[in-house]
């Protein structure tokens, strides 16, 4: 097994997991009771290192620019990139939804009921960016607040100059230690991926999948188009890289994202791949990637577009151009507004449905296969983060 690369080993674990999951479909409790804990262990190992890794690498990254203006420039480019690619993803989702019509001919179960999730207000979003207690933010793993605190620390170190060097050295050492821990954890990744996928396949039988097959296929077609066209063009034209080589090197992070369904849990792998394999300097990756794991939701945004049309088609509601434009604007802004909020995908979808007056009950039908949908959209979320780091590094003419 050692002769295979990390991506190959993870892929083998994924394939074996799918086969074992199919075998265990008659006994899903076996998969949940005896196999899933090994997957949970993998997630816990990754979560263990997320906070020190993000905090240390972001402090080092923002301090290493040695130029507050450059840090601000990178920040503006990052936000602009995330908003533009998110809007494009939603448009692709709407196009797929209009062409395939995944909700046509489906009926909603009569007992299906969903309570709309309350989206946070703009004031709450802005206030919640800044931690009143940084240590509480670290304990709660509030990624946006950790990012803001780390940037302030890094800027403070930069302004202080020589006197701030000991603190910078500490965080630099902490970052390097975190990278080593990630390397150790990744030795367990193939087993962790195997253990995470088995219960999903064993639980989600054909009964649940077949009625919603058009939605699943439609979403994955949209995600493939977004990665194959939008990301490939960005990597080729703005990143000055070969798309084939990029996807090959990014594949370990993509596969971990696919199985964990968490951009934050994948972050240590994303950072390692981006810095070591794609040669993006820490100055860029340590800022772009943690921020992307929190607010960049291309895959989720594409999912919003296709799911909104899916719900409309179930209820026989025709959405005009103005309403579809509202979906694009709402979902794009919601990707920032719901950042760091638990269940952000659900909140985003309820916000989108409410914005065009669609019934919330439609979410109940989607919930049955949400895990299958979540795997693909998280994979694209993470891929978008890596593309962003490559593009912004090239725009700043920075490579390791």
Task: Please report whether residue 88 resides in a domain.
Answer: yes
Top mean pLDDT of 59-68, 220-229, 280-289, 307-316 is at: 220-229
Q: Is the pLDDT of residue 326 over 50?
A: yes
With bands split at pLDDT 50, 70 and 90, how would you rate the model's confidence at 211?
low
The rounded percent of the chain whose pLDDT value lies above 90 is 32
Task: Please report whether residue 219 resides in a domain.
Answer: yes
Alpha helices of the chain — where are they, by DSSP H? Answer: 6-23, 28-30, 36-64, 68-100, 122-127, 134-140, 143-160, 165-186, 189-203, 206-209, 213-225, 232-233, 243-260, 263-272, 282-295, 298-314, 321-337, 344-355, 362-367, 370-395
Q: Express each pLDDT in 102-120 by its tens digit.
A: 888 776 554 555 555 555 5
| pLDDT for the residue 108 | 57
Range(s) of the domain holding residue 227: 6-395
Q: Which residues of 165-200 are buried (b: 16+ CB within 10 A; e: fewer)?
A: eebbeebbebbeebbebbeebbeebbbbbbbbbbbb
Burial of 357 (0-12, 13-18, 19+ CB in 10 A): exposed
| pLDDT for the residue 238 | 94
Distance in angstroms (rounded) separating the CA atoms of residues 368 and 291: 30
Lowest pLDDT segment from 225-229, 284-288, 360-364:
360-364
| pLDDT for the residue 49 | 86
- Name the pTM for this structure: 0.81
Lowest pLDDT segment from 104-118, 276-290, 314-328:
104-118
Q: Which residues of 38-49 are buried (b: 16+ CB within 10 A; e: fewer)?
A: ebeebbebbbeb
Task: State the average pLDDT over residues 189-202.
Answer: 88
φ, ψ of residue 89 in degrees (nearest 5): -60, -40
Domain count for the chain, please give it: 1
Distance in angstroms (rounded) separating the CA atoms of residues 257 and 92: 21
Beta carbons within 8 Å of 214's beta carbon, 6+ residues apart: 100, 101, 102
Task: Please report whether residue 354 resides in a domain.
Answer: yes
With bands split at pLDDT 50, 70 and 90, how would you rate the model's confidence at 336?
low
CATH of the domain at 14: 1.10.3860.10
3-state secondary structure 131-160: CCCHHHHHHHCCHHHHHHHHHHHHHHHHHH
Q: Is the pLDDT of residue 67 over 80?
A: no
Distance in angstroms (rounded) separating the CA atoms of residues 42 and 329: 37
Please indicate whether residue 230 or residue 356 has the higher confidence score (pLDDT): 230
Task: Please report whether residue 1 resides in a domain.
Answer: no
Task: Please report whether residue 140 resides in a domain.
Answer: yes
Residue 244's Cβ-side half-sphere holds a number of Cα atoms within 13 Å equal to 0
Distance set, CA 193 to CA 44, 65, 185, 341 (Å): 13, 36, 12, 25
Task: State the average pLDDT over residues 190-218.
Answer: 81
Q: Could you tell me if 365 and 307 are in contact, meaning their C-beta atoms sit under 8 angstroms apart?
A: no
With bands split at pLDDT 50, 70 and 90, how would you rate the model's confidence at 122?
low
Task: Please report whether residue 400 resides in a domain.
Answer: no
Q: Is the pLDDT of residue 31 over 50?
A: yes
What's 241's DSSP letter? S
| pLDDT for the residue 342 | 45
Task: Please report whether residue 181 resides in a domain.
Answer: yes
Top mean pLDDT of 54-63, 165-174, 207-216 is at: 165-174
Distance in angstroms (rounded) separating the CA atoms of residues 113 and 367: 11
Beta carbons within 8 Å of 270's beta carbon, 6+ residues apart: 253, 257, 263, 289, 293, 382, 385, 386
For the chain, the first-to-last Cα distance in angstroms comes to 30
Q: Is the pLDDT of residue 206 over 70?
A: no
């Amino acid at each position: 097994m050692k002769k295979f690369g990390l991506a190959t080993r993870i892929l083998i674990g994924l394939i074996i997991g799918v086969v074992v999951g199919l075998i265990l479909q008659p006994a899903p409790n076996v998969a949940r009771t005896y196999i899933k804990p090994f997957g949970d262990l993998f997630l816990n190992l990754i979560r263990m290192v997320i906070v020190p890794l993000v905090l240390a690498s972001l402090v080092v990254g923002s301090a290493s620019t040695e130029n507050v203006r450059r840090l601000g420039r990178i920040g503006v480019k990052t936000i602009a990139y995330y908003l533009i690619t998110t809007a494009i993803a939603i448009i692709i989702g709407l196009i797929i939804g209009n062409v395939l019509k995944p909700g046509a001919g489906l009926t909603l179960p009569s007992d299906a009921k969903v309570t709309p999730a309350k989206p946070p207000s703009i004031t709450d979003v802005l206030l919640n960016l800044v931690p009143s207690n940084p240590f509480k933010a670290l304990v709660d793993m509030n990624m946006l607040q950790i990012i803001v605190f780390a940037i302030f620390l890094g800027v403070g170190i930069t302004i202080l100059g020589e006197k701030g060097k000991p603190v910078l050295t500490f965080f630099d050492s902490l970052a390097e230690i975190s990278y080593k821990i990630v390397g150790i954890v990744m030795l367990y990744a193939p087993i962790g991926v195997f253990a995470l996928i088995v219960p999903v396949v064993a639980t989600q039988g054909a009964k649940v999948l077949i009625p919603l097959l058009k939605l699943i296929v439609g979403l994955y077609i949209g995600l493939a188009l977004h990665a194959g066209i939008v990301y490939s063009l960005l990597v080729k034209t703005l990143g000055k890289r070969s798309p084939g080589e990029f996807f090959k090197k990014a594949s370990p992070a993509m596969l971990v994202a696919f199985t964990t369904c968490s951009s934050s849990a994948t972050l240590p792998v994303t950072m390692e791949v981006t810095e070591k394999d794609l040669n993006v300097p820490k100055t860029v990756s340590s800022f772009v990637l943690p921020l992307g794991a929190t607010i960049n939701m291309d895959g989720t945004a594409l999912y919003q577009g296709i799911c909104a049309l899916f719900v409309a088609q179930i209820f026989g509601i025709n959405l005009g151009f103005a309403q579809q434009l509202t979906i694009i604007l709402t979902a794009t802004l919601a990707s920032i507004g719901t950042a760091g909020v638990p269940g952000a995908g659900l909140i985003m979808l309820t916000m989108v449905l409410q914005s065009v007056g669609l019934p919330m009950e439609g979410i109940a039908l989607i919930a049955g296969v949400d895990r299958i949908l979540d795997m693909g959209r998280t994979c694209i979320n993470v891929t978008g983060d890596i593309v962003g780091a490559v593009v912004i590094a090239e725009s700043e003419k920075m490579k390791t």
